[in-house]
Chains A and B, each alone.
Chain A
C-alpha cells in the first residue's frame, strides 16, 4: 500500500480540519462549498475510495480535486493532532484524476432523478447531490462499530423552513433521512441509506447578552461558538471542538470538565427549536411540545425531531482564573480529592486524567507520548492527575488543603520542556523525595526556577521532533500563550483528539456515584474485558457532576480500524462492556450507561442521574 493510501485510510474523521483550531486557517474550498467532500477529511475518504475502486471519477470528483490549492493548512492541523500529512493525499487525488483523464477515462455524470430535482428546488441547485464523490464521504462516521452505508442523496439546507420542506418531501416519497452534523457519532446514527441532511450551512450565532444566552444554528461547531463567546467576555460549556453544538446536545448532551460547575444535558440550554417528523415546528418551551426533558433508561432508535436552533447558556469568567494539575499516586486518592472539591464548590472545572491522557495530550508525537507516559508513571510517580480550573481563591484553597500541584508556570515548563524530561537523570532524585512525602518537591519555593533550568522549555525545544518543514510553524504556534494555558486548553479542548493519534478509540462512558470501590471495580472489569479481546485500553477520565453526587467516567478501548480482526474484537469488547454496565445499572440502581442517552440529550440531568 502506498504512503498516500495508508494516510487516507488512517484519517480519523474527527472533522477537526473543518475548524480553525490552530489559527492557521481552514481549507478555502471547504468554507465555500460546505460539503465535507471539499475539506481534507472528505478528500481523504474520496481518495481511498478511488484508489480501492469503490467509486469512479465523477463530475464532482473533478471539482473536489480541482478545488484543492495544496496550501498545506491541513498538514499543520492533522500533524498537530495525528502526526499525519494529508497534503500528499490531496496531491495523489489530483494526480489520480489527472491520470484518469489523460488515459481517456470517462467522467461519470449522475443525472438528477425526480427526488433530487425536488430537493434542489427546496435548497438550491448547489446544495444537493447524488454524485458518489460526495455521497461516499458521508458513508461512515468516525468509528468502525457500525458498517458504512452509502446514502442516495446529500442535502445541505440553510433554513429551518427548508428542513421542514425536506422532511415533508421525504415522508411523502418514503425516503429515509438522517441528520448529520460533523459525523462524530460513534454508533452509526449519522450514516444511512436514503438522504443525509448535512446542517453545516446553518451557522448563525445570535448573542442575547442581557439574558446570558446565545442562539446557535445547528451548523455551529463548539470551537467556533466558544471563540465568539470568549470575544464577548463569556464562556460556554463546550464539548469536542469540532462537534456541532445542537447535534451534540441531541446525541448525548454536552459534557466537559466544566460540567462540574455548568452541569450536563438540560443545564446547558434554555430552549431549543425543532422540526418534527411531520415537518412542523416546535420549541421546548411550548406548552404542547413533546417532553424532551424526560429520560428513560432505554436505547432510543428514533430522533424526536431535527434540532434547528438552541439557546445556549453563557457563563461569566474572571481575570484571575488559572489551571493547575494536582498529582496523585492512586485513583482512590484522586477520587477523594475531586469529590471533596466538588462538594465544597472548589474549582470551576475538575477532571481526573490518567497518564495515557496527559502524555498523549502533551506530546507532539506518538513516540514521545509513549516515552512521556513512562516518565510520568515511573519517574514522577504520577499515574493520575486532577486538572483544576479555578479562580485565585479556589487555587489557594487547594494549596491550603495541603495538596502540592503543578501551577500554570510549572505546567508550561513541563509541556515545552518535554523532550528534556525524557532524559532527565535528576528525576531519579525526585522519585526518592516522593517516597518520603508524595510530590513534596512541588513545595520547593524555587522549583519552577529549577525546572526551567533543567528542562530549558521553549517552543523550539518542543518542536524539535516535528517534521523539519513544519517546525517553523509549530515553533510559532507554541510561542502563543494559549497553547500552554490550561484554562484555554480546557475551554477549547483541542488536544483531546490526540487521544486517537496512536489508534482510534472507543470510549465507554458511564454516569455513576463517586464511589471509590465501585469505580475501581468497574475500572478493573473494563480492563479485563479489553485484555480478553486483546484490545489496547486505558483509564480515560472522571469528572464530578452535580455537587459531587455523581461523576462521568470514561474508559477507553483503542483499535485499528483498518484491521478487520481488531474491528471484530472491539465490537465484541464494546458489547461486553455495555452488558457489564447494564448489569451494574440493575444491581446498583445508580449506574447509567451513556449509549442510552443517545437522542435523549435534552433531558434534565436529574432525570438521567436519579430516575
Chain B
C-alpha cells in the first residue's frame, strides 16, 4: 500500500506495515518506555501500540508542552490517536529517589511494568555538553535500573548505538565495548551506559538486551521522519547555502557569486564549488526507521538474555553516491569529495568554509570503515536486512524533509 502524506490512509498504512511483525509478539506485555517523544522511541511506541501493547510512558514536560500533550501530538502524526487508551503517562525525574513521584504511584508503576525499553538519550556530540550528556545518558541509569529491580521486570531493553565500539576498531562485535577511544561524548556515554546496565542486570538477575542501531533516517517507504540531523544535515546545509547564492544571482546579478565562481550553467544547474574533505575513504552506515522498528520489535519479542544486537546496514552508502543523488535532486553541481587533509594553503570559498563547519561533528561517520558483526541480529530477525539507500529513498526522504521545513512545521 502506498502511503501518502497526511492522508486518511496514513493510519491504516502504518498498522499494515507493522502488522506481520506485531503478530510475532505473543504475550503483549505492558511495556514501560522512556524516550517516547524522541525519534526512535516514538516510532517504537507507535508500533507497540498498534500491536496491542499497553505502554507506560515515562518522561517530562518541556517548553513544548506536558508529556501527554507531546505524545498526543505524536499519535496524531502517526495517525493512531485511537490507541491513546493503551497509554499511561508518568512525569518522572530519573535523578530523584523513586523517580521523583509519590511512593504510592511508584508502587503502582512497579506493579504494572512487565518490561522496560530504555530509549531516552541525549544525542549531542558536543564536548561542551559533556556534563549534560553524561547526566542524561549515564547518571540517570541509577534511577531506571533501581526501578527495574523494584518492578521485577521480565526484560530490560536498552537502545544504544552501533558506535560504542570505539574509534579505532575495524570489526565491531555484538559484545560489550572496552574501548577508551571514542569519536565524541555521545559514543563514550553510551558505551559506559551499556557496561553499567549489563553489570547491574547480571548482578540482579534481570534479563536484558542491548539494541545498537547505526545512523537512522526516515521511513524508507514514505520518507516521513521526525528528526532531520545526521543524513539530512549535509543536504539541508547544501540547500540553504545554494539558496543564498541563487538569491544573489536572481536579485543582485550574481555579484558575490561571480567572485567565487558560482553560477547557473547551461542546463540550469547551480554550479557551486564545494570541496568536501574526508579523512579517508569510507562510507556511511544508515538504516531507515521502519527497519529499526521492525527489527527491534522482533528482538524484543525473542531476545536472549544479555543479547546485543547490531541494527546496521551491510550495504554501505558512500558520500559520493549521496552527492550524485543530491546533484540530481537539487540541480546543484560542483560538489567534490576529496580524501585526505586539505592543504593549509588551499583557499576556500565562503560556502566551503561554512559547509566544513557544519560537517565537522558528522565527518567521521561519512567516511567510516567500521564493519558491524550482525550474527545475533540476523539470527533473531531471520536475516532481515535494511534496504540499500537508493535514489528513490533519498528523494522521498528529502522531499518530506523540505515539505515539513526540516522539522520546523511537522506539528
Show the binding face of A for B, using Cβ within 8 Å: 425-426, 428-429, 432-433, 435-437, 440-441, 444-447, 449-450, 452-454, 456
Cα–Cα, bound, A456→B351 (Å):
16
Contacts of A454 in B (CB 8 A): 244, 247
Q: A429 touching B350 by the CB < 8 A rule?
A: no
Cα–Cα, bound, A426→B244 (Å):
8
Contacts of A437 in B (CB 8 A): 126, 128
With A426-B243, A446-B350 in contact, is A436–B361 under 8 Å at CB?
yes
- Name which residue of chain B comes closest to A449, CB basis: B350
Q: B245 touching A453 by the CB < 8 A rule?
A: yes
Cβ distance A53 to chain B, nearest Cβ, rounded Å:
52
B219-248 vs A: 1/0 string, CB under 8 Å? Answer: 000000000000001001100110111011
Can you spell out 30 A-B residue pairs with CB atoms less than 8 angstroms apart? A425-B240, A425-B243, A425-B405, A426-B241, A426-B243, A426-B244, A428-B236, A429-B354, A432-B233, A435-B124, A436-B126, A436-B128, A436-B361, A437-B128, A441-B354, A441-B357, A444-B350, A444-B357, A445-B353, A446-B348, A446-B353, A449-B259, A449-B260, A450-B353, A453-B244, A453-B248, A453-B256, A454-B247, A456-B247, A456-B248
Contacts of B125 in A (CB 8 A): 436
Cα–Cα, bound, A445→B350 (Å):
8
Residue from A426, A446, A452 in contact with B240 in the complex, judged by beta carbons closer than 8 Å: A426
Q: A429 touching B244 by the CB < 8 A rule?
A: no
- Name which residue of chain B comes closest to A447, CB basis: B350
Cα–Cα, bound, A606→B332 (Å):
65
Cβ distance B275 to chain A, nearest Cβ, rounded Å:
14
Contacts of B354 in A (CB 8 A): 429, 441, 444, 447, 450
With A444-B353, A447-B350, A453-B248 in contact, is A428–B128 under 8 Å at CB?
no
Cα–Cα, bound, A441→B129 (Å):
18
With A426-B241, A446-B349 in contact, is A432–B251 under 8 Å at CB?
no
Known: A433-B358, A445-B353. 13 other contacts (CB 8 A): A425-B240, A425-B243, A425-B405, A428-B236, A428-B406, A429-B354, A433-B357, A435-B129, A436-B361, A444-B353, A444-B357, A453-B256, A456-B251
Q: Within 8 Å of chain A (Cβ to Cβ): is B360?
A: yes
- Name which residue of chain B comes closest to A454, CB basis: B244
Cα–Cα, bound, A437→B129 (Å):
10
Cβ distance A272 to chain B, nearest Cβ, rounded Å:
53
Residue from B240, B251, B361 in contact with A429 in the complex, judged by beta carbons closer than 8 Å: B240
**Docked complex: B338-375 residues within 8 A CB-CB of A:** 348-351, 353-354, 357-358, 360-361
Cα–Cα, bound, A447→B129 (Å):
25
Q: B257 touching A453 by the CB < 8 A rule?
A: yes
With A428-B408, A429-B240 in contact, is A450–B351 under 8 Å at CB?
yes
Interface residues of chain A: helix, strand, loop or mixed (majority): helix
Cα–Cα, bound, A247→B19 (Å):
82
Cα–Cα, bound, A433→B361 (Å):
10
Number of residue pairs spanning A and B whose beta carbons lie under 8 angstroms apart = 68
Q: Within 8 Å of chain A (Cβ to Cβ): is B252?
A: yes
Q: A449 touching B256 by the CB < 8 A rule?
A: yes
Which 6 interchain pairs have the tightest Cβ spacing?
A450-B350, A446-B350, A453-B256, A426-B240, A454-B244, A449-B350
Cα–Cα, bound, A454→B125 (Å):
28
- Name which residue of chain B comes closest to A453, CB basis: B256
Q: B244 touching A450 by the CB < 8 A rule?
A: yes
Contacts of B256 in A (CB 8 A): 449, 452-453
Cα–Cα, bound, A435→B128 (Å):
9
- Name which residue of chain B comes closest to A451, CB basis: B350
Cα–Cα, bound, A452→B361 (Å):
26
Cα–Cα, bound, A134→B408 (Å):
58
Cα–Cα, bound, A452→B260 (Å):
13
- Name which residue of chain A comes closest to B248, CB basis: A453
Cβ distance B103 to chain A, nearest Cβ, rounded Å:
34
Cα–Cα, bound, A500→B353 (Å):
41
Cα–Cα, bound, A547→B366 (Å):
50
Contacts of A440 in B (CB 8 A): 357
Contacts of A432 in B (CB 8 A): 233, 358
Contacts of A446 in B (CB 8 A): 348-350, 353
Cα–Cα, bound, A428→B232 (Å):
13
Cα–Cα, bound, A437→B361 (Å):
11
Cα–Cα, bound, A428→B243 (Å):
13
Cα–Cα, bound, A139→B319 (Å):
74
Contacts of B129 in A (CB 8 A): 435
Contacts of B241 in A (CB 8 A): 426
Cα–Cα, bound, A456→B250 (Å):
12
Cβ distance B299 to chain A, nearest Cβ, rounded Å:
32
Q: B236 touching A429 by the CB < 8 A rule?
A: yes
Q: A456 touching B252 by the CB < 8 A rule?
A: yes
**Most chain B beta carbons < 10 A, residue from A437, A449, A454:** A454
Cα–Cα, bound, A440→B256 (Å):
23
- Name which residue of chain B comes closest to A441, CB basis: B357
**Docked complex: B357-411 residues within 8 A CB-CB of A:** 357-358, 360-361, 405-406, 408
Cα–Cα, bound, A158→B348 (Å):
65
- Name which residue of chain A comes closest to B245, CB basis: A453
Cβ distance B355 to chain A, nearest Cβ, rounded Å:
9
Contacts of B128 in A (CB 8 A): 436-437
Cα–Cα, bound, A437→B240 (Å):
20
Cβ distance B283 to chain A, nearest Cβ, rounded Å:
23
B248-283 vs A: 1/0 string, CB under 8 Å? Answer: 100110001101100000000000000000000000
Cα–Cα, bound, A340→B384 (Å):
60
Cβ distance B233 to chain A, nearest Cβ, rounded Å:
7
Residue from B236, B252, B257, B360 in contact with A436 in the complex, judged by beta carbons closer than 8 Å: B360
**Docked complex: B114-162 residues within 8 A CB-CB of A:** 124-126, 128-129
- Name which residue of chain A comes closest to B251, CB basis: A456
Cα–Cα, bound, A429→B124 (Å):
15
Contacts of B350 in A (CB 8 A): 444, 446-447, 449-450, 453
Cβ distance B63 to chain A, nearest Cβ, rounded Å:
11
**Docked complex: B70-84 residues within 8 A CB-CB of A:** none
- Name which residue of chain B comes closest to A433, CB basis: B357
Contacts of B353 in A (CB 8 A): 444-447, 450
Q: A429 touching B237 by the CB < 8 A rule?
A: yes
Contacts of B260 in A (CB 8 A): 449
- Name which residue of chain B comes closest to A445, CB basis: B353
Cα–Cα, bound, A425→B239 (Å):
10
Cα–Cα, bound, A141→B128 (Å):
51
Cα–Cα, bound, A5→B229 (Å):
55
Contacts of A426 in B (CB 8 A): 240-241, 243-244
Contacts of A428 in B (CB 8 A): 236, 240, 406, 408
- Name which residue of chain A comes closest to B356, CB basis: A444
Cα–Cα, bound, A210→B260 (Å):
53
Cα–Cα, bound, A50→B247 (Å):
53
Contacts of A441 in B (CB 8 A): 354, 357
Cβ distance B93 to chain A, nearest Cβ, rounded Å:
24
- Name which residue of chain A comes closest to B129, CB basis: A435
Cα–Cα, bound, A349→B83 (Å):
62
Cβ distance B84 to chain A, nearest Cβ, rounded Å:
31
Cα–Cα, bound, A436→B357 (Å):
10
Contacts of B244 in A (CB 8 A): 426, 450, 453-454
